[in-house]
Structure 1
Amino acid sequence: KGGICKQVLASEVKIGDEIELRAGMRVALDSEVISGKAFVDTSAITGESLPREVKNGDILLAGFVLKDGTLRAKASACESESALARISKLVELASTNKSPHERFISRFARVYTPVVVILAGLIAFILPFIFDEGFAAGGFEVWANRALIFLVISCPCALVISVPLAFFAGIGAASKSGILIRSSAVLSTLARSKSFIFDKTGTLTKGVFNLNLVCSDKLSDKDFIAHAAHATSSSNHPVAKSLGAAHAKMQPDCKLCGKYECSELSGLGVRAKSSSDELLAGNAKLMRDCSISDFEYNCWHEGSIIHLALNGRYKGHALLGDELKSGAKEMIEGLKNAGINTLMLTGDNEIAAKAVAKELGIDRFYAGLLPEQKLELLERELGGGVVAFVGDGINDAAALARADVGIAINAQDVAASAADVVIINSDIRALSKAFGIAKRSRGIAWENITFALGSKIVIMVLGVLGLAGIWAAVFADVGVSLLCVLNAIRAGRK
């Protein structure tokens, strides 16, 4: 502050304070770069092996390490709300929220333990009278020995240790790839998913729009973009940012002055007012809801369309093109090969949505939706098997929270808090990896349950019949536990 730089604890830094970062330093707080350029190692947080270049306006997460250069950044979160703090909270939740398999083992152990102790007592004190001549004939020593062998064999260590370990190993493998899973229960539920529902913009597409076409016979292209950029200047929506970039490219000397008082209309667009003008920029529904005169819409090009109205009169529309994320098509193909149904929900127009769904091979899609309509359609899908919803923005938070499994891609704040799974970077391919890890962890847990119970039951029967001695009992306890643990560790492979 005041041009003075001093070293302080991360807990003392407030949101908005400027911090200086030098080569070799680990970022302590989530922050936004305000000057400088450098390469940062993001592997601790995102799992990416290659350093990433950051510059003015880019986001730094706590845990990143500067490889070179010097940066000045502005703190965007306090220490308790940083990326590292959120990861720590997720780890704590993962250790307390048990999967159905773990809950089954806990309930099973509460019943199983007293039952086997009672059975061992029956073997030692009752069977000598049934199969021998009682204690006097030396039968007690034989059956007491068999009862002890029975107890050793029946020890449930293999189940109690290896089943939770399979899920913890899976959560660890996911975190190495930049995938944060809230708990082992979430991992188990994700493995049983039958349908994946996707948001479009920012999830399946990059959310970086390029201006392709302006259709207006009432304003020049330059004036149209200037009005649209002024109207949306206070919005963080990807379309608004793209319009601002197009305006800066067309008129680099003309800054967005902020003379308009802007209000965002969820799922519709933006209304901006000044002392003399009112601008509306958004979708066709906004134009109809506001009864804009002369509204005509006959554009059949593929892409996202933003309409503009000035003082109640329609001025035309602009066509914006969004790019698919790298790996999105392969991810959808992988899910479909695994028997997963895919559905896309978007607020974009029907033409743009249809083009994306067709290119990716998505089974069904719904376009022109408001956030509450997305939630209604999600509710309709629930009940037909486990449903996972994949989104990235604040407008997806309700759907992320309502779905059986909410998955946030490169999300911050509200969306990340509402999600059960957070993919820190924007690599959509991590979704297939998360699903694969979940399937593998759940499969290994069932393998351990089946193998442990099956082998113990067989050897217990042999022990009661006198066909299995103490070494067989040791194998049934320690050996089976070791084999199950080694099998569970396989879930930790990336």
Structure 2
Amino acid sequence: MQDALNEIEGVKAELNFAAGTLILEIQESSMEEFVIKRILQLEPEVQIVSTEEATEEENEEGRGRELIKKITLSGFFFVTGLIIDYYFFPGVRNAGAVTSGFWIVFFPYLVAYIISGHDVLEGAVKGIRRLDFFSENFLMSIATIGAFLIGEFPEAAGVMLFFKVGEYFEDRAVGHSRRSIKSLLKIRADYANLYRDGESIQVSPRDVKVGDIILIKPGERVPLDGEVIQGETTADTSALTGESVPRRLGVGDTVLSGMVNQGGVILVRVSRAYEQSTVSRILELVERAASEKAQTERFITRFSRVYTPVVVSLAIAMAVLPPLLYHTKLFIPLFSHVQTYQEWIYRSLVFLVISCPCALVLSIPVAFFGGIGAASRRGVLFKGANHLEAFRKVHTVVFDKTGTLTEGVFKVVDIKPFNGFTSDELLRLAALSEAHSNHPIAKSILDAYGGSIDEGSIQSYEEIPSYGVRVIADGREIVAGNDRILHLDENNIQHDNCVTEGTVVHVALDKRYAGYIVLSDVIREDAAKT
């Protein structure tokens, strides 16, 4: 289908093996109807949807159940045929169609063959209409129908049945990999809160235009790229950057679709349409990943165009030449027994079945896609098969630590008190100052403290973006944050050590430096240690 559509001027067709779709780019909208008719001529069962209507959900489970149903029914009739053939009417197939036993044996094999192989036969007929005589469907059909004609019913039905079993396992492998890849990037927001006249309305992100204002509540995923025009918050950017430390956002800062709002309510002016947003471009990259064929895949595709005609030619020669040569006096001494057409036609049919190129042509894409899926289950996303193939030449790997070699979860690893404060006092002051914060670092400090916090003792709480927090508790001022908060004009807290490397929380009580707390990310259990 891809080749046939690419022959149409102004049409670009791209087969996406990963998504099981064919993506079309049509230069002129007036050609759409013609292209759709052409597609339905080639494959009447194809479902055509626009990108706006496309969803992430696929009917993979339904297809899997349908395949299992076909395999079960076909297998039942196939086993029934074997039992009748070898236990009740042994040898009746050699007696010919004149006996009733022949048809009793033939019927269950035929039913098994039709149930498991009707789609292969339909594909062969469609190929013949397109003058495509070298497809795997055509070769399978010739081989199995020929097996029926020479009385080898179990071989004919068995080939179709086991082909369907192989198709089921192939679908399972591809579907599992596809789901693994998509689960890695579940970053698309289902709705956007369009803000107009002081009210918000839930709409599809596709319906929001550049310049519109959207409202994003705590816990919601950012649906579109834009600029903060009101409010302050922290955002989880790990889905986009892998960075586990939330980013503080304020008026004038850029937000990207796929981030998760963790703090307050913000208003954002949209700067890019949905189709051009960060999340859409990432998802498009994933969808097109399997279309980037590796060099091995491209070679197999070219090779199969030569391989298939050669196999058919050899099969024909195998069926015809030995009997002909046997009847030539010059070659009779080369044969040990009488050479019949039935014997060599059977051998040529076997040769056709075992040489069918479908396994050869499909095995390489399935192997690459399975590799991409296996990597995605471990948190690694390859942009395409060509990148996966190139990976075998890599001799040095440089990792981003946070969220890759580590869990992306902070843990208190060191407490350094100063000016007479104890470690327990320092940790309690830090926990008290972070009691109203939903920042992951605050949660880590509260977890490390472990005790109960009397939130009623907190008279005021002020969050200073990009610095830290200032709290009044029991009439005393607690300041906690990075080193910069100690240097603010209103603070100017005296301290001897400006620790800025790593994740450090400095604490001061009534402008007296109490010390600092060091936090570190937790190393993944499966990360190799060197």
TM-score (norm 2): 0.34
